[in-house]
Chain A
Amino acid sequence: MNTRKNLLSAPIFLVVFLLQETIMNQIHLPIGGFSVFLIFTLGWCALSTPETGALVGFGAGFLLDVAPHSQGPVGQWTLVLIVTGFGIAYLRYGDDSFRASPLSLVVIVAVGVCATLLFYIGTGALLGMDFGSTFQLVKTVLGNGLWSLAVTPFLLPIISRLHGNIFESREFK
């Protein structure tokens, strides 16, 4: 883990967050749509060590928490993304076959998006949040997963190039 390198990735996340909040949120896609910021975060975590994954999850979750649209208490997204960021990085870090195949990366990011949303619903339910009908919840989670599956292949080259530029792929050696 290198603090300087992690700090270097912060502006990239800020830009993606701004893109998500200003432009992506205005696009209304059928069955729920997707979050570029979430895909970017999980993709980034998947390429990193578990420690970096948790740190990135912390930073990204905190940004989502202070977003004006966020309804839960500050800290909920942070908690959710620390755990999923660490989890996704841990899953991939120990497994060489995983790292070699881009397809598995796409699948794991899409599953990660679903898992993140489910975890968010779970913690939200514990904190007494109101989520509406079950059908709507299932639609949002599945819709996000499917859209992520479709969009991630286009975003991954950008994520891995940016990640490579900052970390120079030395973490894996």
Chain B
Amino acid sequence: MRRSGDNRSRLLLVTLIVTSLFFITLDLRGVQVMSGLRNGAQTILAPFERVASSAYSPLGNFFSDVAHLGRTRAKLKKLEDQNAKLRTTLIAHKGQDAQIKALKSILDLAGTAGYKIVNAKVISQGSATSFSQTITIDAGANMHLTRDMTVICGEGLVGVVKVVYPSTALVMLASDPAFRVGVRIAGTQQIGILSGQGTDHAVLQLLDSQSSVKVGDALVARGSQANKPFVPGVPVGLVTSVSNSAGSVSQMASVKYYAHMNSLGVVGVVIKAPAADPRDALVPKAPVPTPTPTVTIFVTPTPTPSASPTK
């Protein structure tokens, strides 16, 4: 190790660390320059992200498909062969079809509730190393988006607009660990708070110690003051398990989101909420078991033929 270089190296290290601490302090104090830097970076990155997203999306679908396939090698091989054949015919339409379907379901949901929405394509998702769950959409201030608007997909709540850039916006997903939303149990109207956990499940805490929740209960957003950040009535998720610990003040439950946060293609941003709360109108119908028809056969005793037939 160079002895003469040691002091200089130490000085450099200390200077750099102090500079970074200086940055952190400036940002935490809310100095505009720091958030301006991120705005600038997003403005520069947006066109690249758009190009990469349109070029990459068929390949990305393929990767996520393969990641979720069964582990059996033979099955994998068979499916891959089948996929390869099908993909050549489907590849051109697959992306568009999925987007049209997602768009249609968003419009259905928004139409039932009377939300006025702006549609947007997801152009980028949060990085693997960041612990927050975000997506970037291709609509921003140009489409009159502002901070704290509710973002939905065909299934239900996706998240909330966190930062608006000139032509893109950053959306915090409902699965983000920092995400909190006031919810109401559809039907019983009890209220609680749902917290994201970084996974596809969230934790529901009921506010009233007397109220109870059961598996299969559907949750809708309770709505916020002036409809920001949440418009009322958006379906959020389904209760999958309830924890009954004697020591806890109120009941806790695990909730699975209706929306699939990992495979979002098209989302809708609610820019105007309806005048009246849609209440439970948007909760997806639980699957009704199809009745199996029972056939009842009436047997009437036939008169036994007499020994001497009459003529």
* Interface set of A (CB-CB < 8 Å, partner B): 18, 20-30, 32-35, 38, 49-51, 54-55, 57-58, 61-62, 65-71, 73-76, 78-79, 82-83, 86, 93-94, 117, 120-121, 124, 127, 129-133, 136-137, 140, 144
Q: A25-B124, A55-B16, A127-B28 are in contact. Are A78 and B23 (CB under 8 A)?
A: yes
- Most central of B13, B34, B57, B134 by chain A CB within 10 Å: B13
- Tell which of A23, A32, A94 has the most Cβ of chain B within 10 Å: A23
CB distance from B123 to the nearest CB of A (A): 9
B198 touches A136 (CB 8 A): yes
A73 to B20 CA separation, bound complex (whole angstroms): 10
With known contacts A131-B177, A132-B197, A75–B27 Cβ distance under 8 A: yes
User: Which of B48-56, B106-114, B236-244 forms part of the interface with chain A?
Assistant: B48-56
- Cross-chain contact A78 with B131 (CB below 8 angstroms): no
B5 within 8 A of A: yes
Within 8 Å by CB of B41, from A28, A68, A86, A136, lies: A68
Q: If A25-B124, A66-B38 touch, does A75 touch B24 (CB 8 Å cutoff)?
A: yes
- A74 adjacent to B127 (CB under 8 Å): no
Residue of B nearest to A121 (CB): B131
Are the CB atoms of A82 and B20 closer together than 8 Å? yes
Chain A residue nearest to B29 in the complex (CB): A73
Given contacts A78-B20, A133-B199, contact A69 B12 (CB under 8 A): no
Given the contacts A25-B124, A35-B128, A79-B21, A54 and B16 also touching, CB distance less than 8 Å: yes
Q: Do B262 and A28 touch (CB < 8 A)?
A: yes
**Contacting pair B130 A70 (CB below 8 A):** yes
- A–B pairs, 23, beta carbons within 8 Å: A18-B45, A22-B51, A25-B127, A26-B57, A28-B67, A38-B129, A51-B12, A54-B16, A61-B20, A67-B45, A68-B38, A68-B42, A69-B136, A73-B23, A73-B27, A73-B28, A74-B23, A78-B16, A79-B17, A86-B13, A129-B131, A133-B198, A136-B199
Beta-carbon contact of A25 and B125 below 8 Å: yes
Minimum Cβ distance to chain B for residue A116 (Å): 8
Q: Taking CB as reference atom, which chain B residue is nearest A28? A: B64
Minimal Cβ-Cβ distance residue in A for B131:
A131
Known A-B contacts A55-B12, A130-B178; A73 and B24 likewise in contact (beta carbons under 8 Å): yes
Whether B17 contacts A83 by the Cβ 8 Å rule is yes
Docked Cα-Cα span, A155 to B115, in Å, equals: 49
Q: Are A82 and B67 in contact (CB under 8 A)?
A: no
Q: A78-B20, A78-B23 are in contact. Are A67 and B9 (CB under 8 A)?
A: no
* 5 closest A-B pairs by CB: A75-B23, A132-B177, A132-B198, A33-B128, A75-B24
Residue of A nearest to B53 (CB): A26
Within 8 A of A (CB), among B47-82: 48-49, 51-53, 56-57, 60, 63-64, 67
Contacts A32-B128, A133-B199 aside, 5 further interface pairs with beta carbons under 8 A come to A18-B48, A54-B12, A68-B165, A73-B23, A78-B16
Task: Report A-chain residues with C-beta under 8 Å of the C-beta of B1.
Answer: 93-94
Docked pose: A140 CA to B133 CA in angstroms: 13
Q: Tell me if B40 is interfacial: C-beta within 8 Å of chain A.
A: yes
Decide if B196 is an interface residue (CB 8 Å cutoff). yes
Query: Is B206 on the interface with A (CB-CB < 8 A)?
Result: no
Cβ of B278 within 8 Å of any chain A Cβ, yes or no, is no
Contact A22 B49 (CB under 8 A): yes
Residues of A within 8 A of B17 (CB): 79, 82-83
Q: How far, in angstroms, from A38 to B132 measured CA to CA in the complex? A: 17
Partner of B127, one of A57, A67, A133: A67
| B window 1-25: CB within 8 A of A | 1, 5, 8-9, 12-13, 16-17, 19-25
Nearest CB in chain B: distance from A101 CB, A? 20
Q: Nearest Cβ in chain B — how far from A107, in angstroms?
A: 19
- Given the interface pairs A22-B52, A137-B131, the reply to whether A75 lies near B21 with Cβ below 8 Å is yes
* A34 closest partner in B (C-beta): B128
Q: Which residue of A lies closest to B132 (CB)?
A: A71
Bound: A57/B53 CA distance, A = 29
A61–B17 CA distance with the chains assembled, in angstroms: 11
Q: Tell me whether B24 and A79 are in contact (CB under 8 A).
A: yes
Residues of A within 8 A of B40 (CB): 66
Nearest A residue to B34, CB-CB: A74
Residues of B within 8 A of A38 (CB): 129
- What residues on B are CB-neighbors of A86 within 8 Å? 13
Contact A68 B127 (CB under 8 A): no
Question: Is B170 located at the chain interface by the 8 A CB criterion?
Answer: yes
